[in-house]
Homo-oligomer: A and B are copies of this chain.
Amino acid sequence: MEMVNEDVLRKTKQWRGYVQAKLGFRNHWYPIFFSSEVNEGKPVSTKLLGENILINRIDGDVFVIKDRCLHRGVPLSQKLECYTKDTITCWYHAWTYQWKDGLLCDILTDPGSRRVGKLKLKTYTAQEAKGLIFVFMGDIDPPPLSHDVPPNFLDDNMAIHGIKTKVNSNWRMGAENGFDSTHVFIHKDSQMMPENETVVPLGFSPNRGEENKMVTLVKGDEGPTGVFDNLGAHSRPIFEGTIQGEPVVHSVMGGDKRIALQISIWLPGALKVDPFPDPSLIQFEWYVPRDETSHWYFRTLGRRVENPVEEAAYEKEFHEHWKPLSLHGFNDDDIWAREAMQTFYEDDWGWVNEQLFEADRNIIAWRKLASEMNRGIQSPSDL
């Protein structure tokens, strides 16, 4: 039942826990649906950290159970049968569970069974915030949601809109692509920059001697745990790419709007880019483990609004402008980039054979922090 190659783990001791976390970190909060996707009395199934789960909304609240009957292991979602508001009945032998606590409250095919009232299906705690449904995938008492999301995401005046995409790479390919400062090179042809009158450099040349200032670690007692990348303040942005001293490629100079001044990544795998893609917006995104080889990519943009009118205006602007221009027009390139990394890391040996460079210092900091501060590692025996 070991999932990660032992030889690899021996050779990656500095971030062993991170390399082990092929299925993600357990005992953390993850977004899994937008609120609008889960409707009253209409259970929907999905996969999270390798587990099949089923989510329902009852009297407005969201409940999450394991999508696997205790009896013979079939997915309840294969044929949904909910005879009462508060229960779900397995289509196979009519074992019936309460949504709120998973209790096997009835077996319709044998009402007198001694199993009734004795067994519980695994349940998970859910919480809605900012139009997203977060699930606590764990076994301990959940800490506040605010400990597992980037700073400011939950701010009262922060309006959030976004999209969700399934990406065919491990979640760590997503996290590292997002936090990676020099991957910006892949975006050099994006239409977002000229249309939005901004500029994105081709890369960054770190100031030598300032290595110890490149990242700031935040180990939150009262909030989230993460890493700030300070490369912007301690490097020279590269607008002209040279080979053997000759310029060969240039950044598109779209305008003078300044964006992406502060980039940070937070456990269990969420990025904050502030501001982005516009001085008026912050991008929050999540790389949510689905299984070993895929993740849910949640891309959201937040804007501070003062009243319902501003909020409505932002919602319209998001859908008409920012979603096509930036989420798709800019970030879609990140999807194929992550998928292109997958093969190299799929058998775990990529973690040994990769050759990092100076600009990856923030990625190393993230790996170490995640190894140290995670609340648990999802294992095949959790599935």
Residue ranges of A at the interface with B (Cβ–Cβ < 8 Å): 68, 70-75, 78, 83-84, 87, 89, 91-94, 96, 105-115, 119, 180, 182-186, 202-206, 208, 238, 241-244, 246, 248-249, 336-337, 340-341, 343-345, 350, 353-359
Contacts and interface: CB of A to CB of B under 8 A. Distances in A.
Contacts of A344: 68, 72-74
Could you say which of A75, A184, A340, A344 has the most chain B C-beta atoms within 10 Å of its C-beta? A340
Contacts of A244: 84, 105-106
A75 B343 CA distance: 9
A354 B73 contact: yes
A315 B4 CA distance: 55
A266 to B, nearest CB: 22
B93 A182 contact: yes
Contacts of A74: 337, 340-341, 344
A243 B110 contact: no
A183 B93 contact: yes
A110 B206 CA distance: 7
A356 B70 CA distance: 9
A87 B343 contact: no
Tallying the copies of this chain within the complex gives 3
A73 B343 contact: yes
Given A73-B343, A206-B110, A359-B110, A92 B337 contact: yes
Given A91-B186, A343-B73, A243 B205 contact: no
B73 A107 contact: no
A180 to B, nearest CB: 8
Most buried by B among A243, A344, A353: A243
Contact of A354 (B71, B114, B204): B71
A246 B106 CA distance: 11
Nearest to A337: B92
A205 B112 contact: yes
A206 B107 CA distance: 13
A108 B240 CA distance: 8
B340 A75 contact: yes
B183 A107 contact: no
A281 to B, nearest CB: 25
A93 to B, nearest CB: 5
A355 B71 contact: yes
Nearest to A96: B243
A203 B94 contact: yes
